[in-house]
Amino acid sequence: MTIKRVNVKKNERGLLLRNGDFERVLQPGTHWLLSGLDRLQVELVAIGAPAFVHPLTDYLLAKEPAVVEAEFVRVELNATQVGLRSENGVLVELLPPETRRLYWKGLVDVQLEVIDLASTPELSPALTARLLQTQLRPRSITGLAGVLQVVVPEHGAGILWVDGKIERLLGAGSFAFWKFNRSVNVELVDLRLQSVEVTGQEILTRDKVALRLNLSATWRYSDVLSAYKALAKPAEHLYRELQLGLRAAVGTRSLDELLENKSVIDEVVTAQVKDKLAALGLELTSVGVKDIVLPGEMKTILAQVVEAGKAAEANVIRRREETAATRSLLNTAKVMEDNPVALRLKELETLERVAERIDKISVFGGLDQVLNGLVKLR
């Protein structure tokens, strides 16, 4: 017969095994154990970390309810329950469904809050705010992978998908959803005015001229849920509709019609696309052609046409001015023919202009002979 002495510290517990089988939990202090013919073994376990991770866990849960009630906080969750484990009032872990664990009582005050998942996948606003606040702590929460946290900005919205179906539309704010037992996803959507560029579109006009056009449009969501229920990717559908509208506007008109009135493209595209998109929850606010690029040879031809047109306009203006000048001279001649004084004044005016251009004038025969006599210029 053997007597064995065992010391258990205040931050420890002892698991007494007799012949390999669990017998009892030893509390802090000194213990004298009488072995007799049996083989005694004491396993000391630190309880600073309250989780009891041991091969005896399932045995204790099944066969030792009194020991579990006295020494442990018992956690047994079913398939539709989630546990919130706190230590000394601080949330430290999210326990998934079907969790079976034991936590030591003693040094750390362990509390467990059980939440039923069957009613709704969304966490309460208070718990959502609590999870956001705990992210700023030095010690993070274990098990956050089981929660989907989403922050929807003020200018946006969130589409909540649960098991592949659209559940509802989320407004601005913070949200959290349990990912256990279901597939949960939130797709963020920008509700502000957005722009789309349809560039490099090669289109033949009605008279078989190849044009390259760049189109710019602005749009927004008018009904987000309708758009995503009807379309897999609303933005890509909008782009394709603008492409088709642009081809319809250009392909049914000649090059001259397009160059004379570029806004006709905007009007046709808007008329063809706007109503279709409105029925799908998309609002087209504006459409505009940024530029039209002509082929190289067509640019040369149009330049020649413009040059010829401008030359013709210049010729017409020149002829008009010559006609006006001739008519003015004719009127002046008629006035001088009937009025000798006017003729004399014209002669003096001519003499004045001539005198301004020469350095020296020699006059023979008097001033009366200036125009009719001999004028010698040196």
Q: How many Å apart are CA 297 and CA 316, to the nearest integer?
A: 29
pLDDT given for residue 273 in this prediction: 92
CB-based burial, 341-375: b 16+ in 10 Å, e otherwise: eeeeeeeeeeeeeeeeeeeeeeeeeeeeebeeeee
Q: How many Å apart are CA 185 and CA 163, to the nearest integer?
A: 9
Cβ atoms within 10 Å of 115's Cβ, excluding its own: 17
Name 359's Cβ contacts closer than 8 Å, sequence gap at least 6.
none
pLDDT, tens digit, for every residue of 121-161? Answer: 899 998 888 888 776 666 678 888 899 999 999 999 999 99
Radius of gyration of the chain measured on its C-alpha atoms: 49
Tokens of 24: 């009892």
Q: How far apart are the first and last CA of the chain?
A: 160
Cα dist. 42→6, 64, 79 in Å?
8, 18, 36
Nearest to 55 by CA among 83, 17, 82: 17
pLDDT given for residue 376 in this prediction: 45
Q: Where are the beta strands (DSSP E) in 128-209?
A: 147-152, 156-162, 165-170, 173-178, 184-190, 194-204
pLDDT, tens digit, for every residue of 92-128? Answer: 999 999 999 999 998 899 999 999 988 788 999 988 8
pLDDT given for residue 368 in this prediction: 59
pLDDT given for residue 187 in this prediction: 94
DSSP assignment, residue 24? E
pLDDT given for residue 295 in this prediction: 66
Q: Which helix (H) or strand (E) holds 4?
A: strand 3-8
Secondary structure (3-state) at 220: strand
Q: What CA dihedral angle connects 279, 282, 285 and 290, to 10 degrees? A: -110
Q: Are 70 and 102 in contact (CB under 8 A)?
A: no
Tokens of 367: 């001033």
Domains of the chain: 194-294 (3.30.479.30), 339-377 (no CATH)
| Reported pTM | 0.68
Q: How many Å apart are CA 128 and CA 95, to the nearest integer?
A: 16
pLDDT given for residue 338 in this prediction: 72
Nearest to 103 by CA among 54, 143, 152: 54
- Mean pLDDT of the 269-288 span: 92
**Phi, psi angles (nearest 5°) of residue 200:** 65, 35
pLDDT, tens digit, for every residue of 20-66? Answer: 899 999 999 999 988 878 888 999 999 988 999 999 999 999 999 99
pLDDT, tens digit, for every residue of 75-86? Answer: 999 999 999 999
Q: How many Å apart are CA 177 and CA 159, to the nearest integer?
A: 13
Mean pLDDT of the chain: 84
pLDDT range class, residue 298, cuts 50, 70, 90: low
pLDDT higher for 107 or 312?
107
pLDDT given for residue 310 in this prediction: 65
